[in-house]
Structure 1
Amino acid sequence: MAQSIRDDDGVSNVSGNRHLQEVVEQAIGHDPTRRRLMKAGLGAASLPFLGMLSGCLGGGDDPVEQMLGFQGIPAATGDSVLVPAGYVATAFLPWGEPINASAPAWKPDASNTAAEQELQVGDNHDGIEFFGFNAAGNGFGNRSDEGLLVFNHEYINPEYFYAPGSDSENWLLPFTLEKARKGQAGHGVTIAHIRRRADGMWEHVKTSPYNRRIHGNTPVSIQGPAAGHPLMRTAADPAGTMVLGTLNNCGSGRTPWGTYLTCEENFNGYFGWNGDRTPTALERRYGITKDGFGYLWHTVDPRFDVNANPNEPNRFGWVVEIDPFDPNARPVKRTALGRFKHENAAVSIGPDGRVVVYMGCDERNEYIYKFVSSGKFDAANPTSAANRRLLEQGTLYVARFDAGPVAGDRMGTGVWIPLLPSTVGVDGKPLRENPNFAAPTDAEVLALIMIKTRQAADAVGATMMDRPEWITVNPKNPGNVYVTLTNNNRRGTTPASSNNPDGSSSAGSARPPVDEANPRTNNLWGHIVRWTEAGNDPAATTFTWDIFVLAGQPSITGERAPSSNINANNLFNSPDGLMFDGFGRLWIQTDGSFSNTGDYAGMGNNQMLAADPVTKEIRRFLVGPSGCEVTGVTWTPDRKTMFVNIQHPGELGSHPNRPKNPDGSTWSDNQIARDPTRFSQWPTQGVRPRSATVVIRRVDGGVIGG
């Protein structure tokens, strides 16, 4: 996902583990047929495995519904949301919208206070889920006309979020505790009661008791193996069981018992330190630096100064479970799911009832994980207390992708490695003997594994990936799972390492570049990998895998060639958000370059596409406004309303249309902050850009996509 102030462009993994690209090279390098297949772009006709899938992906509730029943739209570079003919898209619940009838109105000059922002919708909407009411309208159910829309807020864009201060050179200065508190209030989660009107439009029920904001200073419980560990304790919380807030919430997930999962991603960027400090190995592995992402919170709020509170960063980087139907329920950080830069949480139920949660760590050269519960889901009593405790205990696994040979189209096999005290790492020793995890008892070792999940995955030889982002499970076949690998410009440059006695890593020789048979030397455009669990059981410990699509430019041949299902009509880069609808369509959202030039020519603004998992056909469904990311998607149960989030419209970055000064230089963020409508005015003309949810429906009232 995108990140404010500066891109989270670092690499924290110096473990020396294999990268997926090396596995791809091994898988295809020894087989001339597979080598030709990759050069040709993984054409659908060449993949026998798709014949097996066709029996799982057809059908649906409507016998006339088509997999891709809309005309794809062209790329665009304007400042609006575009959808196919026969559809309408309406902005809804933008940043600053009062959360209830008594909350203060949003001020177009961005002068709202921190206390006011706590009662308003947060900024930079991301993961989103619709929870329909039951028939009585007082709890979790399957209604499509009324329910709770729950969405999280990844970060803020300070150039739009704050009214300029008195310093002419830097709009953020003077930076105060009040500004930090307002920024913290712009994060977290929004729960909004909504209902569909007779005309098909949706409204926010502002008098509802369900409306709620959870933000950076909301009390949140800490539960699971890491709760109470010394590394989780602070002076403000000596028990290590309660933290203030949830930050940098990226993708999301939903459970079958009616709760919302929000995922803490680039939490490291909010921390820094005043004075001198030598970062610890743990801080280095999680990217904690002196100045963070430049938010300046640590300069005015001691909670974010690592010198003052060295354990506070350990209390972030978790999956947080929220009960949207209980306004008094405290959110819970589920430490059994591990600590890393969580993108989303895709929930599946195995044949034996165990709950599986798939998760990616969104940084270059990081890993893919899954959690398998110890207990089993009781489908007869979905909202039972027992079900609501299923994420408390289980086993966390990390993926190792291996090369073939595999029968048919599969490029390789894979293993889910359990992260347990007894797990044997690449050095042939159990984790409990590793300096990072040595502790008197297995319970203490397990707590350390959860807090230092990245180091545990390093130690057992997990496969490095190209920024694992959203993961989604095929509803027609729960053993079939897809992940977006958004891009990676650091392949071939990450140093190898050796483990020092203190658990730190020391750089070794540079990793060699991939050779000409590798499909991507520099993964500018990203791709999507899918795997099938053994026996189609989400809880299985082995799998087979292949590449579903390589994004890119069809005019480019050789090792950089995209898949054959990419053409001039559906160009895209940097797949990020990923979700199946109930019919089995795969929806792909992008968060990449919107320069529309060079390697990205013809791709336009960030967008959302739909794919047929059987034929691999891909069509563009939506184009977002200038400077945005398209992220997060959910539906009403009848699939006649789609909710999509538009994040950070007007974020300039390196956009070629960034305003220019008379001397030819591009505008600074300081200038944008003082003229906030200069680049984007979405969704309201004449007003600074605001992240918002887009409500999409068909004019004829039909299902979305069909």
Structure 2
Amino acid sequence: MSAPAPERSPAPTPQRTVLPLLRTHQGGRSAMTCKFKCDDACSKPVPNETDNSYFGDLVSSLASRRNVLKGGGLAAAVVGLGAFAGTGAAAAAPAAAPAGTPATAPKGSKSPFGFTPIQPQPAGTDKVVVPEGFVWSTIISWGDPIISGAPEFDFEKQSAKAQEGQFGYNNDYTVLIPGPDANRGTLVCNNEYTNDDLMFRGYTGSAGLTNEQLRISMAAHGMSVVAVRRRNPRDQWRHVRIDRVNRRVTATTPFQVDGPAAGHTLLKTSADTSGRRVLGTFGNCSGGVTPWGTVLSGEENFNGYFSAATAPADQADAYKRYGLTGSKGRGWERVDQRFDAVQEPNEVNRFGWVVELDPSDPSSTPVKHTAMGRLKHEGANVTIAPDGRVVAYMGDDERFDYLYKFVSHGKYQKGDSRKARQNNLSLLSSGDLYVAKFTGDGFEDGISDGTGYWLPLVVDDTSYVAGMSVAEVLVWTRLAADKVGPTKMDRPEDVEPNLVNGRTYVVCTNNSSRQPSQIDEANPRANNKHGHIIELVPSRGDDTTTTFTWKIVLIAGDPNDPTTYFNGYDRSEVSPISCPDNVAFDHEGNMWIATDGNALGACDGMYLYPLSGPHKGHLQQFLSVPAYSECCGPLVTWDQKTVLAAVQHPGETEGASPAAPASQFPYQGDGQPRPSVIQIRQR
């Protein structure tokens, strides 16, 4: 087991000079983040050039049409935070916001959730901030060894072989799976992308990287699986350095391809003439856990990894629609020809899928599910319908792209028998695929809501898209969806079913490209810098139905802005929030929100957002992550005693480098920022 990580209280951390946030792109992301994370997508033309209709200029003033209701008294008891609620945590008024903070939490406001909300921290503040009465500590960081024989991390002596046995870079989706007892579990993380500028000294571009450095980058991508333990439920989690479940999945790990498109010509390459075996995964953003114990991971910004100077004539439209045209790649083609799209034009089609990994079996081969469609998957999370079929909701994380739903043909079987497990492991291999169309009902009721319909793409192994086969619909899902007229959304990222209330929540992070003539009731704000969240209610409570109702439950931003909306709660009582990215739910159904790219001039963080009861809409900030990092995760552990967060890309801002780091997180004294998974517990 690893040595205990020190616990840290919210006491001020000694400050150091940090680099200014020189330039931002969509939301509040730095230009450096945009470069390495998404191939600078927001500075390029929108890939969706279809003229699918908008629902009209339905909004003149959201504020004048909303009935803003004040929530119940703060003394009311709310059970929602489980072990954190009603625990007597310090209730002193928070300290005054630091100078320069553009939006602040209500002064003196006390949360009914067992903690006092923290104040927003100005961008560049290099410390983790948690509420009074809570402490944080690190579970695991980039480079920590998790495989037998892997060396201790040494920034100056990195190697591809070492990285293959060490925790990966830029942890995003994070889940803690219960073990055989309450004090053991398995931590699974996506390692989304690398920042070569911060990983290697003297970076001048991918052309200047050595072949070994390119292989290090490839090995730092993918997923990490690691055992964790604690002494008792009050103790902190620690990662286990060597355990049978520990595993790294990288850009070179073999994957099986299944589903209707497996073996199709579009998936065949010179190295894999079968079209059924792919090496690697990368761009893994969010994900989910299945009822049968596997982990799903979404391959998102895969397009920036290929050198695509020209597109093959028969795939020119698809290359353009997926943002591949003209991509310069990351230099990986120098050590692996498959990343040269001119030489291997079909290799690009082997990424952009939902991946399924069995964390309990390190010898198992992970699977890419073609039945779930190919797009820039933020992630996937499943729920079980009344008839036993599995339903997965998925967002395509791009400006003006779509929301999707997959419904399995097979039915879930309870139990852990061999027969049940074999059945459940096949559920995502065959099913129906839909894309969403939203219709608003006007603002006479004072809120953004309406009805919706799931437009069929593939149903009963039949293509519902004219001129496209089933395999073509699944490989070129964006092109197929364009033809049936779904609603263009504001970067639909995480889409999570809430198993407590039976509703699903669609997180639209932002879209500053939306013009006034393009707004509709489901995307009601032009120049949407701060994002919003939509609640979906399936007809008859059955997720397999093709109709639903919907309502916007959060329009993010500075609460002083009258166009913001907090599900009817008094805006003067809530914390400011910008760019919601990922969400999770505790055992009472309360939503926890992590942000990416705060456009209010503050650090990203984590927030508690009740969805029912007298405090419905009472948003409270719980965590602020350090300088120029993104808050990923989030996760409330199964026993409700710990909150986990993945701190991604700390110190990632223009001008930062190993010689001039913009963050020291996780403050281990080694001089360089390291993406890490942290835990927050009551003192």
TM over 0.5: yes
Does the 8 Å CA contact 1:57/1:584 hold for their aligned counterparts?
no
Which residue number in structure 2 is paired with residue 618 of structure 1? Answer: 619
SS at match of 2:214: helix
Which residue number in structure 1 is paired with residue 642 of structure 2? Answer: 641
Decide whether aligned partners of structure 1 residues 161 and 378 sit closer, same or farther in structure 2, where only a CA change above 3 A counts.
same
The structure 2 residue matched to 1:115, chosen from 121, 140, 161, is: 161
Aligned partners of 1:517, 1:127: CA distance in 2, in Å? 26
- Aligned pairs for 1:356-367 (under 5 A) are 356-367=391-402
Q: Partner letter of residue 114 of structure 2?
A: G
Which residue number in structure 1 is paired with residue 175 of structure 2? Answer: 129
Q: Say whether residues 1:482 and 2:505 are aligned partners.
A: yes
SS at match of 2:482: helix
SS at match of 2:141: coil
The structure 2 residue matched to 1:533, chosen from 532, 538, 545, is: 538
Which residue number in structure 1 is paired with residue 316 of structure 2? Answer: 280
Q: Partner letter of residue 607 of structure 1?
A: G
Larger deviation: 627-636 or 276-285? 276-285
SS at match of 1:538: coil
1:517-544 Cα deviation digits (max 9, x unpaired): 9952210111111111111112221111
Decide whether aligned partners of structure 1 residues 57 and 220 sit closer, same or farther in structure 2, where only a CA change above 3 A counts.
farther
Unmatched tracts of structure 2, length 5 or more: 1-28, 72-77, 88-110
Which residue number in structure 2 is paired with residue 308 of structure 1? Answer: 343
Does the 8 Å CA contact 1:410/1:544 hold for their aligned counterparts?
no
Decide whether aligned partners of structure 1 residues 116 and 530 sit closer, same or farther in structure 2, where only a CA change above 3 A counts.
same
Q: Say whether residues 1:197 and 2:231 are aligned partners.
A: yes
Which residue number in structure 2 is paired with residue 290 of structure 1? Answer: 326
Larger deviation: 209-218 or 626-635? 626-635
- Aligned pairs for 1:250-399 (under 5 A) are 250-273=285-308, 280-292=316-328, 295-381=330-416, 384-399=421-436
1:390-448 Cα deviation digits (max 9, x unpaired): 11111111110012279976721000112127999xxxxx74532xx1xxxxxxx1111
Does the 8 Å CA contact 1:550/1:562 hold for their aligned counterparts?
yes
Q: Say whether residues 1:694 and 2:652 are aligned partners.
A: no
Decide whether aligned partners of structure 1 residues 277 and 256 sit closer, same or farther in structure 2, where only a CA change above 3 A counts.
closer
Q: Give, in angstroms, the shift of residue 178 of structure 1.
A: 2.3
Q: Give, in angstroms, the shift of residue 642 of structure 1.
A: 2.2
Which residue number in structure 2 is paired with residue 7 of structure 1? Answer: 40
Aligned partners of 1:407, 1:378: CA distance in 2, in Å? 45
Does the 8 Å CA contact 2:86/2:114 hold for their aligned counterparts?
no
Q: Give, in angstroms, the shift of residue 587 of structure 1.
A: 0.5
Q: Give, in angstroms, the shift of residue 569 of structure 1.
A: 5.3
Which residue number in structure 2 is paired with residue 460 of structure 1? Answer: 484
Larger deviation: 630-639 or 56-65? 56-65
Q: Partner letter of residue 537 of structure 1?
A: D
Which residue number in structure 1 is paired with residue 222 of structure 2? Answer: 188
Does the 8 Å CA contact 2:512/2:529 hold for their aligned counterparts?
yes
Q: Give, in angstroms, the shift of residue 114 of structure 1.
A: 1.3
- Aligned pairs for 1:535-554 (under 5 A) are 535-554=540-559
SS at match of 1:13: coil
Q: Partner letter of residue 163 of structure 2?
A: Q
Decide whether aligned partners of structure 1 residues 471 and 68 sit closer, same or farther in structure 2, where only a CA change above 3 A counts.
farther
Unmatched tracts of structure 1, length 5 or more: 30-34, 47-55, 135-142, 425-429, 438-444, 493-510, 595-599, 654-666, 700-706
SS at match of 2:150: coil
Decide whether aligned partners of structure 1 residues 374 and 406 sit closer, same or farther in structure 2, where only a CA change above 3 A counts.
farther
Q: Give, in angstroms, the shift of residue 268 of structure 1.
A: 0.4
SS at match of 2:383: strand
Aligned partners of 1:620, 1:565: CA distance in 2, in Å? 16
Q: Partner letter of residue 203 of structure 1?
A: R
Q: Partner letter of residue 546 of structure 1?
A: K
Q: Give, in angstroms, the shift of residue 386 of structure 1.
A: 0.8
Aligned partners of 2:624, 2:312: CA distance in 1, in Å? 45
1:348-368 Cα deviation digits (max 9, x unpaired): 111111111111000000001
The structure 1 residue matched to 2:466, chosen from 408, 414, 433, is: 433
Does the 8 Å CA contact 1:431/1:456 hold for their aligned counterparts?
no
SS at match of 2:473: helix
SS at match of 2:578: coil
Q: Say whether residues 1:81 and 2:128 are aligned partners.
A: yes
Does the 8 Å CA contact 1:180/1:301 hold for their aligned counterparts?
no
Number of matched residues? 610
Q: Say whether residues 1:152 and 2:190 are aligned partners.
A: yes
Q: Give, in angstroms, the shift of residue 474 of structure 1.
A: 1.7
Larger deviation: 254-263 or 195-204? 195-204
Q: Partner letter of residue 453 of structure 2?
A: V
TM score, norm. by length of structure 1: 0.80
Which residue number in structure 1 is paired with residue 441 of structure 2? Answer: 404
Aligned partners of 2:84, 2:310: CA distance in 1, in Å? 64
Q: Give, in angstroms, the shift of residue 554 of structure 1.
A: 3.0
Does the 8 Å CA contact 1:68/1:611 hold for their aligned counterparts?
no
Does the 8 Å CA contact 1:367/1:463 hold for their aligned counterparts?
yes
Decide whether aligned partners of structure 1 residues 299 and 104 sit closer, same or farther in structure 2, where only a CA change above 3 A counts.
same
The structure 1 residue matched to 2:495, chosen from 471, 476, 482, is: 471
Which residue number in structure 1 is paired with residue 18 of structure 2? Answer: none
Aligned partners of 1:367, 1:296: CA distance in 2, in Å? 31
Q: Give, in angstroms, the shift of residue 312 of structure 1.
A: 0.2
Identity %: 38
Aligned partners of 1:680, 1:58: CA distance in 2, in Å? 34
